[in-house]
Amino acid sequence: MKDATSDSFFKQVYGLVRQIPPGKVATYGQIAALLGNPRGARAVGWAMRACPKDVPWHRVINSQGRISERGRHPYDVDLQRAMLEAEGVAFEHSGRVDLSIYQWLADKGD
> 49 in a domain, yes or no?
yes
Distance CA 92, CA 77 (A): 15
> 30 in a domain, yes or no?
yes
> 1 in a domain, yes or no?
no
> 17 in a domain, yes or no?
yes
Q: Which residues of the chain have pLDDT under 70?
A: 1-5, 70-75, 108-110
Distance CA 104, CA 60 (A): 10
> 98 in a domain, yes or no?
yes
Q: What 3-state class would DSSP assign to 27?
A: strand
pLDDT digits (tens, 9 = 90+) for 68-96: 876 666 668 999 999 999 999 999 999 99
The CATH number of whichever domain residue 71 belongs to comes to 1.10.10.10
> 102 in a domain, yes or no?
yes
Structure confidence at residue 22 (pLDDT): 98
> 95 in a domain, yes or no?
yes
> 2 in a domain, yes or no?
no
Structure confidence at residue 1 (pLDDT): 42
Structure confidence at residue 91 (pLDDT): 98
Q: Which domain holds residue 46?
A: 7-108
Structure confidence at residue 71 (pLDDT): 60
- How many independent structural domains does the chain possess? 1
- State the first-to-last Cα distance of the chain, in angstroms, to the nearest integer: 28
